[in-house]
Structure 1
């Protein structure tokens, strides 16, 4: 896959200075929430995926997952983020630390085996390739929201 979540990190970083900005006509959540959530997801996935046992990988076709990941698009307002990847308020300093952790985690992620996996609550087991697709699509989804809030 040519699209890499690594390529999105510099743009995410560029919005840290605007982290307190919000526009409820775009989203109920501010830029800091969008950044924090995106980085928390990257960091959580990069932490759990290398711990998975490839022999436990059980691919299961999920039509919705196939379509959304193939399109590289998630609809807005349809999913609820798990509590583990949500906070109400995040400081600029915390966002910078999370960004650093994401860069390090993504480097380590590249070393995992192809059948190591991330278990997504809707899409099921995602192998390395599909996990990379998910991370890109998810981060890009939130980046589009951030761009709109920033323009307001």
Structure 2
């Protein structure tokens, strides 16, 4: 949870650079990557609060094992569900709104049952701990892209 909070602080530090682009690294702007990450964070954190822990049904898979243990996400190879793609060009205000919501939702999941879960479209049911690992890895993936956009 501390790692995700730290990532939210890093996202906040990038707010002045949301319009920066670099086609050699990504077709999307810094703001797009930040807003996309926040949409995933907000959707997943809300999802944890909406599931019944009694219905948690974990299943093992190679994809789940590799991702949660090694954090490998190939760039440009996985298509995000439509609800997690920014609808318009992100603005400082839109990113700030999603950022503040993520901070609130992160705080709200602290006291949830360990068996609170989300159902990920590729990885299946992820309990609270695995969801936070997923969020940390996914956000880190996009923060690395942002770092690369800003380097070049």
Q: Is TM more than 0.5 here? A: yes
Q: How many residues were matched structurally?
A: 151
8 Å contact from structure 1 (residues 3, 136) kept in 2: no
- Equivalence map 1:1-152=2 (5 Å): 4-87=3-86, 88-152=88-152
TM-score normalised by length of structure 1: 0.95
CA offsets 1:40-64 (integer angstroms, 9 cap, x no match): 1111111111110111111000111
Q: CA RMSD in A?
A: 1.2
Q: d(CA) in 2 for partners of 1:78 and 1:117?
A: 26
Q: Secondary structure at the match of 1:131?
A: helix
Q: d(CA) in 2 for partners of 1:74 and 1:3?
A: 22
Using the TM superposition, give the Cα deviation of residue 100 of structure 1 relative to its aligned residue in structure 2, in angstroms: 0.7
Using the TM superposition, give the Cα deviation of residue 4 of structure 1 relative to its aligned residue in structure 2, in angstroms: 2.0
8 Å contact from structure 1 (residues 114, 127) kept in 2: yes
TM-score normalised by length of structure 2: 0.95
Q: Is there any run of 5+ residues in structure 1 with no aligned partner, and where?
A: none
Runs ≥4 residues deviating over 4 A: none
Q: d(CA) in 1 for partners of 2:4 and 2:68?
A: 14
Distance change (3 Å), C-alpha of 1:3 and 1:141: farther
Using the TM superposition, give the Cα deviation of residue 32 of structure 1 relative to its aligned residue in structure 2, in angstroms: 0.8
Q: d(CA) in 2 for partners of 1:148 and 1:111?
A: 36
Q: Is there any run of 5+ residues in structure 2 with no aligned partner, and where?
A: none
CA offsets 1:68-99 (integer angstroms, 9 cap, x no match): 11113322112111111112411101111111
